[in-house]
């Protein structure tokens, strides 16, 4: 069995409630942290090598170190619980079944950053999870872990749950901040970065749920010990949301030393592919990262075993590699259609674009229309090259990463599965039949021939 730091007590009955959580060692890190200085806590997080678990993988301790500390100006910690990436549901699991673990991490992190008013911005669809968090916060406050003068140290801290309204774009930290302030959730131009001017133009750190929960074992065991787990710069453990064509979908905690093949096929994790079908492809880090075909998923381009780590998945760049991303591990068997899946993702990103940047606003809809034509047997060979050109001109040309997130899946699908796109174009009758006939599809959507 692999190392368990976050899910160690997940199986214990009643662990979501304070009494059971406290009985099993809960809030020990708060007791320890409040005897340290904020600078010492930040240093432990730096030593741990913890990287942001929300997608970008930026070193957490370094991010904390950027926080401005102007005299007399309040600072804030914001927990990004707006988990809306298709294929990702690990943060929901933590909040639903281990809410006190998140709260404990928030208290320690708030003390380290000097935040007396800390916010959990939660995805609007997670109604029942928000209620669980609010109940856990009330329990923590009742038992003296929140409020005024925590444990007699003079440190005050309140945690508030703020519910979003179902906008994927608010997973981007500056859009989240805008929404938290009561405005439309449009990303801000950076700089200034949130560490300088965040919520209400005050210095702010935004971290996701898993990142903040990981602070608890870091303080309990020490940053240096935490860094011994994993491999290279991929330290500690990582939660993965495994779904798709596997026998055992669910949440798994890995120490980032196992191979992709072991994760997919071992009984300890995904348990293999149903009905003995072959592996076709996988999206290893949520819908926004590049899809990889089976040969590049199990082995790198150099023929080495691909490891489930930040560096292991990225080996080869986007040409032959992918990203750990948000940990949404989606597996596809031999019967799945990559074109159809890519069309579905394009529809999602088009729907969720805030419309602030024209490459994203216009380009995502354009890509979706072309993909729909190809999928339903109404495309042309030239459409494939047009798709490639559109995604290339979206990537890197938007205020926030949603444009990149929309472009990367399309680029990777064409790069690795161009023959499948061509099959749809060259076999329109079969493509239409596979999509239940023309009754589900009217006239082909007109698209321009160049961009």
DSSP per-residue codes, 165-217 = -S-GGGGSHHHHHHHHTTS--PPPPSSSPTTTS-GGGS-EEEEEHHHHHHHHH
The answer, yes or no, to whether residue 262 has pLDDT greater than 80, is yes
Token pair for residue 250? Answer: 């669910």
In 3D space, the residue among 188, 166, 178, 168 whose CA is nearest the CA of residue 398 turns out to be 188
Q: Domain residue spans in the chain?
A: 18-228, 234-333, 338-440
| pLDDT, position 144 | 96
234-333 is classed CATH 3.30.1300.10: no
18-228 is classed CATH 3.40.50.11540: yes
Total-model pTM:
0.93
Average pLDDT, the chain: 93
| pLDDT, position 1 | 61
Residues 6 or more apart whose CB falls under 8 angstroms from that of 233 comprise 49, 51, 310, 311
How many Å from the N-terminal Cα to the C-terminal Cα in the chain? 52
Residues 6 or more apart whose CB falls under 8 angstroms from that of 424 comprise 339, 374, 375, 377, 379, 431
Residue 118's DSSP bridge partners are 159
| pLDDT, position 77 | 98
| pLDDT, position 442 | 43
| pLDDT, position 56 | 81
Q: Give the separation between CA 428 and CA 432, rounded to whole angstroms.
A: 6
Reduced to 3 states (helix: H, G, I; strand: E, B; else coil), residue 93 is helix
Q: Which helix (H) or strand (E) holds 409?
A: helix 402-426
Mean pLDDT of 181-210: 96
Q: Give the separation between CA 132 and CA 144, rounded to whole angstroms.
A: 19
Mean pLDDT of 408-425: 96
| pLDDT, position 362 | 96
Whether the CB-CB separation of 188 and 196 falls below 8 Å is answered with no
| pLDDT, position 435 | 65
The answer, yes or no, to whether residue 179 has pLDDT greater than 50, is yes
Q: pLDDT tens digits for 48-66?
A: 999 999 888 899 999 999 9
Mean pLDDT of 138-165: 97
| pLDDT, position 301 | 87
The answer, yes or no, to whether residue 190 has pLDDT greater than 50, is yes
In the 8-state DSSP scheme, what is residue 347?
H
The hierarchical CATH code for the domain 338-440 is 1.20.1440.230
């Amino acid at each position: 069995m692999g190392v368990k730091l976050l899910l160690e007590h997940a199986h214990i009955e009643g662990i979501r409630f304070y009494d059971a959580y406290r009985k099993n060692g809960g809030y020990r890190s708060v007791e320890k942290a409040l005897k340290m200085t904020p600078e010492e806590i930040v240093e432990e997080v730096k030593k741990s090598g913890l990287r942001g678990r929300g997608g970008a993988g930026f070193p957490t301790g370094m991010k904390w170190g950027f926080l401005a500390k102007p005299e007399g100006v309040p600072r804030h910690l914001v927990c990004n619980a707006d988990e809306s990436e298709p294929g990702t549901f690990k943060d929901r699991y933590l909040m639903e079944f281990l809410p006190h673990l998140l709260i404990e991490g928030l208290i320690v992190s708030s003390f380290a950053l000097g935040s007396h008013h800390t916010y959990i911005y939660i995805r609007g669809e997670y109604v029942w999870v928000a209620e669980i968090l609010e109940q856990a916060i009330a329990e923590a406050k009742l038992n003296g872990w929140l409020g005024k003068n925590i444990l007699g140290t003079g440190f005050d801290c309140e945690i508030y749950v703020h519910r979003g309204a179902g906008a994927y774009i608010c997973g981007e930290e500056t859009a989240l901040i805008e929404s938290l302030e009561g405005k439309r959730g449009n990303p801000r131009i950076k700089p200034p970065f949130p560490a300088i001017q965040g919520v209400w133009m005050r210095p702010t750190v935004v971290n996701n749920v898993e990142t903040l929960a990981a602070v608890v074992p870091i303080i309990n065991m020490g940053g240096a010990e935490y860094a011994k787990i994993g491999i290279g710069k991929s330290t500690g453990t990582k939660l993965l949301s495994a779904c798709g064509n596997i026998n055992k979908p669910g949440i798994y905690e890995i120490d980032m030393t196992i191979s992709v093949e072991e994760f997919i096929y071992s009984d300890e994790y995904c348990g293999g592919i149903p009905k003995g079908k072959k592996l076709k492809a996988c999206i290893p880090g949520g819908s926004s990262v590049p899809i990889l075909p089976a040969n590049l998923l199990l082995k790198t381009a150099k023929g080495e075993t691909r490891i489930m780590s930040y560096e292991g998945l990225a080996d080869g760049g986007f040409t032959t590699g992918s990203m750990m991303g948000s940990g949404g591990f989606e597996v596809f068997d031999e019967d799945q259609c990559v074109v159809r899946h890519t069309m579905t993702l394009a529809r999602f990103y088009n729907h969720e674009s805030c419309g602030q940047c024209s490459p994203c606003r216009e380009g995502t809809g354009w890509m979706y229309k072309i993909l729909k034509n190809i999928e339903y047997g109404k495309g042309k060979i030239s459409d494939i090259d047009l798709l490639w050109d559109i995604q290339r001109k979206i990537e890197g040309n938007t205020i926030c990463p949603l444009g990149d997130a929309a472009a990367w899946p399309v680029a990777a699908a064409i790069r690795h599965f161009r023959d499948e796109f061509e099959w749809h174009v060259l076999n329109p009758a079969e493509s239409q039949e596979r999509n239940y006939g023309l009754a589900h599809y009217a006239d082909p959507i007109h698209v321009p021939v160049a961009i």
